[in-house]
């Protein structure tokens, strides 16, 4: 099955800083979703982005499917951005999400 | 519109018992997915149900089973519980098999 690697594994930011999270995947993908898992375990949908670029407020994401990677940009970070960020592609023709190991983000005052 | 709802929030069982977890999808969604998030193992796909049928299964033993009801809600059953079954179980739903998956808040299962 598809392999998913996320980097960095851990990230500490000062409030207001910008960051880029990366997701590499080993095979062609049908879909790709980015999630934020809050401290209570809830997975919050951020983006559905099998290709191209999307923006939602301070967050944006880019997927380059031909080069098998996706990026999540967080600008002007806030303490509420803390948590774990997961990317999860689905393989071509499939439907199950394969999750990366996540990036643990902590935003400090 | 209500999101994906899961019950119970927490469940405590002893080794060898059976656990039943429930999930109600977003209204209109026909596909339901189950994932396990165990400490140190990450988020892993368990099962996918669509239109009442099991469509795909992850690498889990047969004592993990489930079903989908005519109203598209779903049940996950775990038989002969083992200590390593302790995990957060997350349910997701999508409009159809190719669409965005939305997750519930999860059921935290503890096996003592």
Q: What is the mean pLDDT of residues A64-85?
A: 96
Q: What is the pLDDT of residues A7-36, one digit of tens each?
A: 999 999 999 999 999 999 998 888 899 999
pLDDT of residue A39: 85
pLDDT, tens only, B66-94: 999 999 999 999 999 999 999 999 999 99
C-beta separation of B86 from B110 below 8 A? yes
Q: How far is A32 from chain B (nearest CA, A)?
A: 9
**Residue A93 scores a pLDDT above 80:** no
Q: Does A56 touch chain B (CB under 8 A)?
A: no
Give the number of beta-carbon pairs within 8 Å between A and B. 52
A59 at the B interface (CB within 8 A)?
no
Q: Which long-range contacts (CB under 8 A, 24 or more apart) does A38-47 make?
A: A38/A83, A39/A82, A39/A83, A40/B105, A41/B37, A41/B88, A41/B90, A41/B105, A41/B106, A41/B108, A42/B103, A42/B104, A42/B105, A42/B106, A43/A86, A43/B90, A43/B92, A43/B103, A45/B100, A45/B102, A45/B103, A46/A72, A46/A85, A47/A72
CA distance B97 to chain A (A): 6
Q: Quick check: A91 pLDDT over 80?
A: no
Residue A40 and residue B105: Cβ atoms within 8 Å?
A: yes
Summarize pLDDT for B1-52 with one digit per residue, the tens. Answer: 689 999 999 999 999 999 999 999 999 999 999 999 998 888 999 999 999 9
Mean pLDDT of B57-65: 96
Q: How far apart are alpha carbons B45 and B50 in whole angstroms?
A: 15
DSSP string, B4-37: -EEE-SEEEE-TT--EEEEEEPPTT--EEEEEEE
């Amino acid at each position: 099955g598809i392999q998913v690697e996320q980097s960095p594994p851990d990230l500490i930011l000062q409030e207001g800083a910008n960051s880029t999270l990366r997701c590499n995947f080993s095979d062609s993908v049908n879909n790709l979703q980015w999630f934020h898992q809050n401290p209570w375990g809830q997975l919050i949908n951020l983006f559905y982005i099998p290709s191209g670029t999307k923006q939602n407020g301070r967050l944006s994401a880019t997927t380059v499917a031909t080069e098998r990677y996706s990026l999540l940009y967080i600008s002007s970070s806030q303490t509420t951005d803390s948590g774990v960020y997961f990317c999860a592609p689905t393989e071509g023709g499939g439907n199950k999400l394969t999750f990366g190991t996540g990036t643990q983000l902590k935003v400090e005052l | 519109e209500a999101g994906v709802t899961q019950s119970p929030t927490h469940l405590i069982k002893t080794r060898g018992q059976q656990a039943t977890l429930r999930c109600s999808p977003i209204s209109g969604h026909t596909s339901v997915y189950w994932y396990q998030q165990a400490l140190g193992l990450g988020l892993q796909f368990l099962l996918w149900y669509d239109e009442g049928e099991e469509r795909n299964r992850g690498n889990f033993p047969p004592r993990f089973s489930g079903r989908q009801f005519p109203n598209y809600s779903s049940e996950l059953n775990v038989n002969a519980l083992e200590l390593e079954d302790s995990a957060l179980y997350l349910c997701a739903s999508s409009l159809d098999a190719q669409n965005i998956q939305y997750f519930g808040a999860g059921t935290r299962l503890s096996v003592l």
